[in-house]
Amino acid sequence: MTRPRVSRFFLYLILIFFVILFLLPLWSALVTALKTEQDLIYTTPIEPPKDPTLEPLKTTLSIMGRPLLNSLTFTLGATLLSCLFGSIAGYVLTKIRFPGSGIIFALIILGIFIPYQAVLVPLVLTMVRLGLYNTIWGLILTHTAYGIPICTLLFRSFYEDIPDSLVRAAQIDGAGTWTIYRRVILPLSWLPFAVAAVFQFTSIWNDLLIGLVLSRGIEAMPASVALANLKGGFVALWNLQMAGTLWYALPALIIYFVLGKYLIKGYMAGAIKG
Amino acid sequence: MTVSWKAFKDRILTITLFLPALVLVGYFVYFSIGWNIVVSLSDWKGLVPSYRIVGFSQYLKLISDPVFLISLKNNLILMALFVPGSLALGLFLAILLDQKVRFEASFRAIYLLPFTLSFVITGYLWRWMYNPTIGVINTILDKTGLGFLKSGWITDPNIALYCVVLALIWQFAGYTMLIFLAGIRSIPESHIMAAQVDGASGFYLYRRIIIPQIKFSFFTAFVILMVFALKAFDFIYILTSGGPGYATEILPLTMYKESFAMTHFAYGSAIASLLFFLVMMIVVPYLLRTYWRQEK
């Protein structure tokens, strides 16, 4: 489909208009985070600072440093565990036929769509009873549990494409179910592990609600909650609010720009967010 | 004997490894939903749990609670505007990018970027965009001679909800674009070429040939957006916290405030259960339809 020159020109004009629209808030956050309080008043929100400063970034890092570290810890832990359990569940549900496996799969998949609100009160009570309220372990356990459904779906859709004959051949050689998983399935799984891990890292890192109800003090506070608290502490100090936003956005942005293609595969595999 | 012992051990090992997933999902999803429903049937108010079952009285209270009715109404408005808005903009972007555009991958990556960010981040970004005194939008309007369009945005109760919707469309359009683009690309080239030979082109080609073939992409995106619109919490919590007044209050916020700020646990759980049933009404037909499609 070749189009006349003029309409190609308008096509690119519209595309670039949307680029500006999609990047404008981020651009403004970036320049605002580098501004002094004077620049905040004397420059417009889209102008770069006249007198760039790193003070807002330093100040917010001193507040958000520990929460960022907390987030990194429980996000990595829960990502690893949910991928591992999801992989085993996906394997068992595709390669081992047993009565009721269809129902179990359906029930696990339904878990992807559960609104957190419907489990929030029992979740807090459970964590208090287990002594895991306001702990990193509590957040790891919770995010692992709610990550298993989507991981199971991602791994299952991938394992369905591995021919059953491969599994049967190993069975004939006398390999057990667990051995087949370790020797045959796992070595073929680097792609679904990459997809599930990037997807899980992003969604756990981005979560606010779970962190809000399961953390109280700084010991387990996620970065999302620390950032949410900034707007109360720094009213009208937009340079500090934007600096905090940048700190919290940084790991997610790095993941997106380096490993974005896996994230997109995750979104496409029927993924859901929120 | 040794073989069957080995097989038995293998079976035990498999079950042991599969068990954590089953137990975790079983407890944290299904048992917890049941527990929540029990709480919603009790009279638990205050910090000490009470499981005295009082039946559906919490649900009956909902009908006469003005805050609940406002947040239900806002939730419905949000769904009615945000879902078609995101679908339309996403489809528009997908069609633009389908014109053999140079740097397509870069455009796609930029349009999808907002969706990959946490709602806490986008919530902050849009608080700054909409800030009435020194925020981005009002300043730009001032500098470009459009000062008469300046507004209070999220601080104006008459338009705050629409501002929330616009910001959410900004965040989700890249995602719907991705789904539609994948749908368009999965149509066999021969179908499109056959239509082109028959003289179909431009707008007509999309309306008559391409869009009807990506019906399932619409269905998927529709369900995902509807579910999101029902349970959206993080974004509005940061952007407006439901304000000004109750102008942007929606059910998940009301549930959170009732349970965790006012300790009306039974009442909050009733709202949560209602949300659960609304989400299931959308998701269950979707999953049934998807698997029915796969079986065929």
Among partner residues A25, A89, A272, which is closest to B224 by beta-carbon distance? A272
Interchain proximity A107–B25, CB inside 8 Å: yes
For residue B55, count other CB atoms closer than 10 A to its CB. 10
B78, pLDDT greater than 80: yes
Contact A210, A116 (CB under 8 A): yes
Q: What pLDDT is recorded for position B136?
A: 92
Most confident of B6-10, B259-263, B269-273: B269-273
Q: Which residues of chain A have a CB within 8 Å of the CB of B18? A: 88-89, 92
* Mutation site, A27, A28, A121, A173, interface B, largest B CB count within 10 A: A121
HSE at residue A51, side-chain half, CA atoms within 13 A, is: 8
Q: What pLDDT is recorded for position A174?
A: 80
Q: Coil, strand, or helix at residue A61?
A: helix
Q: What pLDDT is recorded for position A4?
A: 64
Residue in this structure with the two tokens 């069609």, named with its chain if needed:
B95
A137, pLDDT greater than 50: yes
In single-letter form, the type of residue at position B211 comes to: I
ipTM of the complex as predicted: 0.91
**Each residue's pLDDT tens digit, B62-71:** 989 999 999 9
| B237 Cα to chain A: minimum distance (Å) | 9
Q: What is the pTM of this model?
A: 0.91
Interchain proximity A111–B29, CB inside 8 Å: yes
Q: Which residues of chain B have a CB within 8 Å of the CB of A123? A: 28, 32
**How far apart (Å, rounded) are the C-alpha atoms in residues B95 and B114?**
19
> Higher pLDDT residue, A112 or A5?
A112
Q: What pLDDT is recorded for position A271?
A: 43
**Each residue's pLDDT tens digit, B4-61:** 787 788 888 888 889 999 999 999 999 999 999 999 998 888 787 878 888 888 898 8
Mean pLDDT over residues B71-85, rounded? 96
> Higher pLDDT residue, B54 or B235?
B235
Instruction: Give the max Cα distance, chain A.
Output: 77
Q: Which residue of B has its CA nearest to A93?
A: B18
Structure tokens of B227? 């579910």
Q: Which residues of chain B have a CB within 8 Å of the CB of A208? A: 118-120, 233-234, 237-238
Peptide bond into B244 cis (omega under 30): yes
B2, pLDDT greater than 70: no
Structure tokens of A81? 């565990």
> Higher pLDDT residue, B7 or A189?
A189
Q: Which residues of chain B have a CB within 8 Å of the CB of A100? A: none
A-B CB pairs within 8 A amount to 268
Structure tokens of A147? 């990550």
Task: For residue A168, give every residue at least 6 positions away whose Cβ sits within 8 Å of its Cβ, in sequence order, or none.
Answer: none
Band (B74; pLDDT cuts 50, 70, 90) = very high
Band (A274; pLDDT cuts 50, 70, 90) = very low
Percent of chain A residues topping a pLDDT of 90: 62
B224, pLDDT greater than 70: yes
| B158 Cα to chain A: minimum distance (Å) | 23
A6, pLDDT greater than 90: no
Q: Which residue of A has its CA nearest to B169?
A: A22
Q: Which residues of chain A have a CB within 8 Å of the CB of B95? A: none
Q: Which residues of chain B have a CB within 8 Å of the CB of A177? A: 10-11, 13-14
Residue in this structure with the two tokens 């709480």, named with its chain if needed:
B39
In total, chain A counts a number of residues equal to 274
Band (B257; pLDDT cuts 50, 70, 90) = very high
Mean pLDDT over residues A31-48, rounded? 89
Band (B1; pLDDT cuts 50, 70, 90) = very low
Q: What pLDDT is recorded for position A269?
A: 77
Rounded to the nearest 5°, which phi and psi values hold at B200? -75, 135
For chain A, give the mean pLDDT: 90
Mean pLDDT over residues B131-149, rounded? 88
Q: Which residues of chain B have a CB within 8 Å of the CB of A18? A: 93, 107, 111
Least confident range from A235-244, B4-13, B131-140, B243-252: namely B4-13
**How far apart (Å, rounded) are the C-alpha atoms in residues A145 and B26?**
9
**How far apart (Å, rounded) are the C-alpha atoms in residues A234 and A63?**
12
Interchain proximity A114–B110, CB inside 8 Å: no
In single-letter form, the type of residue at position B225 comes to: L
Band (A40; pLDDT cuts 50, 70, 90) = confident
In single-letter form, the type of residue at position A75 comes to: T
Angle at B261 between CA B260 and CA B262, to 5 degrees: 100
Band (A272; pLDDT cuts 50, 70, 90) = very low
| B117 Cα to chain A: minimum distance (Å) | 7
Angle at B283 between CA B280 and CA B288, to 5 degrees: 115
| A177 Cα to chain B: minimum distance (Å) | 6
Q: Which residues of chain A have a CB within 8 Å of the CB of B125? A: 25-26, 28-29, 245
> Higher pLDDT residue, A235 or A147?
A147
Q: What pLDDT is recorded for position B177?
A: 95
* Mutation site, A27, A32, A114, A272, interface B, largest B CB count within 10 A: A114
For chain B, give the mean pLDDT: 89
**How far apart (Å, rounded) are the C-alpha atoms in residues A159 and A94?**
7
Q: What pLDDT is recorded for position A223?
A: 96
B166, pLDDT greater than 80: yes
B204, pLDDT greater than 50: yes
Interchain proximity A110–B31, CB inside 8 Å: no
A14, pLDDT greater than 60: yes
Q: What pLDDT is recorded for position A270?
A: 59
Interchain proximity A274–B237, CB inside 8 Å: no
Least confident range from A121-125, B138-142, B206-210: namely B206-210
